[in-house]
Structure 1
Amino acid sequence: MSDWTLARDAFGKLVLTDAQDQAHVGVNPVRAHPISAPDEGLSLIGPDGHELAWVDRLSSLPEAPRRLIEDELRSREFHPQLQRLVAVSTFSTPSQWTVETDRGPLQFILKTEEDIRRLGGPGEGRLLITTSHGLQLFVADRWALDRASRRLLERFL
């Protein structure tokens, strides 16, 4: 590890203690590439918005600080994975979508086609779909979806 330690205070906030033994309460971990490389590049940001520490690889940290960071990230990063499109109200936007995710069924409004973002290069099947309420659904591989789901999704891409 480096010259800092990480712990939780009595209020559940992350506290980073630096090499000068100064405690920074309310630290937030922020991934550099949350979807494409979630284990690589993580910044620990202080409450003032400045970076206090950089972690090259999350998996290289000792278990205790790694677990604290992973718990904090899990509470803030919520990207249900879309598994199947059940129905779409109309093929123009805005439209109501009914889907199945790894967290259960969901209905949402897709405001515009721009709310479906392709991740990676051409030919990759990863997508991020943002609902009208700001929830982001992750599609790991659109080519792996069932045929009916792919057909519905293609109308919007």
Structure 2
Amino acid sequence: MDAAQIDLARDPYGKLVLTTADGERHAGVAPVRAFPIQAPDEGVSLMTGDGREVAWIPSLADLPPALRSLIEEELQGREFMPVIHAIRSVSSYATPSTWQVGTDRGDTSFVLRGEEDIRRIGQDTLLISDSHGIHFLLRDLQGLDRQSRKILDRFL
């Protein structure tokens, strides 16, 4: 489906409603990223509540600003993956340990159950899962300050 064929709006209850070029309405659609970490703006599917794909958006950059904003707003409400900018301290170098970190959403702490909860996604990207199943993204290992890198190296 071409970006020009996508008519997306919110209903009175705040749910997204997609109307296709042939006039078919799909209430309660949700955007889902195909590659949320490595290509977050490429490949977004609009899915119905029962898991059917009703539209495919190859690139968010190709959408008109208002439509892109609506989809990004909905994605932000559905996705919660803080990005770690600094590791302030850890309670212990043995696991489980409590980590104090600075993220794009403010300072927080979480419990790391084991080293296996730190997964390498790419050359400089890590995905860290806490004891509650919340995923923290560390996008740039090389961009970390010296103290953060030193702490992290003990777990890798």
Tell whether the structures are fold-level matches, with TM greater than 0.5: yes
Q: Which residue of 2 aligns with 1:32?
A: 34
Deviations for 1:121-140, whole angstroms, at most 9, x for unmatched residues? xxx21111111122221112
TM superposition outliers: structure 1 runs of 4+ over 3 Å: none
TM-superposed deviation, 1:64: 2.2
One-letter amino acid of the counterpart of residue 149, structure 1: S
Q: CA RMSD in A?
A: 1.3
Q: Which residue of 2 aligns with 1:57?
A: 59
Deviations for 1:9-64, whole angstroms, at most 9, x for unmatched residues? 00000001123312111101011111111111110001110100101111101122
Q: Secondary structure at the match of 1:72?
A: helix
For 1:143 and 1:62, the matched residues in 2 are separated by 35
Q: Which residue of 1 aligns with 2:45?
A: 43
Q: TM-score, normalised by structure 1?
A: 0.91
Task: Tell whether 2:13 aligns with 1:11.
Answer: yes
Deviations for 1:95-143, whole angstroms, at most 9, x for unmatched residues? 11111222221111001212111112xxx21111111122221112112
Q: Which residue of 2 aligns with 1:125?
A: 124
For 1:27 and 1:70, the matched residues in 2 are separated by 14
Q: Which residue of 2 aligns with 1:142?
A: 141
Q: Which residue of 2 aligns with 1:76?
A: 78
TM-superposed deviation, 1:85: 1.3
Pairing 1:104-119 to 2, within 5 Å after superposition: 104-119=106-121
For 2:86 and 2:13, the matched residues in 1 are separated by 39
May I ask how many residue pairs the two structures share in their alignment? 154
1:96 to 95, 98, 103: 98
Stretches of structure 1 lacking an aligned partner (at least 5 in a row)? none
- Percent pairwise identity: 53
TM-superposed deviation, 1:2: 4.2
For 1:102 and 1:25, the matched residues in 2 are separated by 32
One-letter amino acid of the counterpart of residue 89, structure 2: A
Stretches of structure 2 lacking an aligned partner (at least 5 in a row)? none
For 1:27 and 1:89, the matched residues in 2 are separated by 43
For 1:32 and 1:56, the matched residues in 2 are separated by 10
